[in-house]
Structure 1
Amino acid sequence: MAPVPNCGIDIVAISRIERLLKEFPEQFQAYAFTEGERSYCDEQPYPEQHYAARWAVKEAYLKASPSSEINRDLSKVEIIREERPYLRIKDTAYSEGLYRDPDSEYSTVPAAISMAHERQLDLAIGLVCLPASTHD
């Protein structure tokens, strides 16, 4: 039987993230997002939906990851927005399957990720699929 990828999915109400951003702006942003993510989200017309989508992807990554190395420190997981978004992890001892950039404090996660947000439905979704572990 072929190895099955590890997948995680998360759904979050955009209004929940919006409320956290209003009630605890500095604390919530520092806890869950990198400077780059905050800069990107804050430049958007509706920042809360972009924050919510990133939150959902990070939660999905935690569900899919075979490692607990990041210990729910979501600010160590960064979504890089390019043609195809990808994940990076900062300062992690967990290295199985990660691509470490020798000139950076980040490792790239070989994952397929998808995120979506719909303001009218008050919904953001994140999906992460990691390659199957060879040690299972």
Structure 2
Amino acid sequence: MAILGIGFDLVTVSEFEEQLSRPGTAMKSSFRPGERRYCESKSTDPARHYAVRWAAKEAVIKAWAASRFARPPAVGDNAYVQIEVVNDAWGRPSIKLHDEAAEFLPGAIIHLSLTHDGDMAGAMVVIEEPDIVVPLGN
């Protein structure tokens, strides 16, 4: 497999929480319904969970941009809602792409690592292209 791009992002949780609480903000519209449900279910500190998901979305966009070096961007300005952080039954996070993002990276393997400590939340992403199996001729 070839690595298409690597991305990393770091978010200050308290600053992100302030942005979320501003009157008239549209920040939450950058999150898909499942992400909002997950974050809001964390009654002790939902902003921490939003912040780490924002870092993941930014890391995906950075890895994606690296894969497009010297070529025009493939997706419009609001790619955030096209990138969703999902969790399996054991809480392990993964990335699910939607709409144009899914069309641009069909079958791509996206590795994700999330962390939050104190007032910081971070994410690391590696995007790999899938193996292409070429049938052998007779």
Q: What TM bracket, shorter-length normalisation?
A: 0.7 to 0.9
Q: How do 1:15-26 and structure 2 match up within 5 A?
A: 15-24=14-23
Per the TM alignment, residue 87 of structure 1 is displaced from its structure 2 partner at its CA by: 1.1
CA contact (8 A) 1:6 1:132 kept: no
Aligned-partner Cα distance in 2 for 1:87–1:130: 10
Give the structure 2 partner of residue 103 of structure 1: none
CA contact (8 A) 2:110 2:126 kept: yes
Give the structure 1 partner of residue 84 of structure 2: 78
Give the match's secondary structure for 2:103.
coil
What residue identity is the alignment partner of 2:40? D
Aligned-partner Cα distance in 1 for 2:130–2:77: 20
Per the TM alignment, residue 76 of structure 1 is displaced from its structure 2 partner at its CA by: 1.3
CA contact (8 A) 1:111 1:129 kept: yes
The alignment-based identity, stated in percent, is 28
Give the structure 1 partner of residue 103 of structure 2: 95
Q: Which runs of 5+ in 2 are unaligned?
A: 132-138
What residue identity is the alignment partner of 1:123? M
Give the match's secondary structure for 1:92.
helix
The alignment yields a C-alpha RMSD, in angstroms, of 2.5
Q: How do 1:30-109 and structure 2 match up within 5 A?
A: 30=29, 32-44=30-42, 45-65=44-64, 66=67, 68-73=73-78, 74-82=80-88, 83=90, 84-92=92-100, 95=103, 97-99=105-107, 109=108
Aligned-partner Cα distance in 1 for 2:116–2:101: 32
CA contact (8 A) 2:109 2:127 kept: yes
* TM-score computed with the length of structure 2 as normaliser: 0.75
CA contact (8 A) 1:69 1:94 kept: no
Give the match's secondary structure for 1:95.
helix
* TM-score computed with the length of structure 1 as normaliser: 0.76
Larger Rg: 2
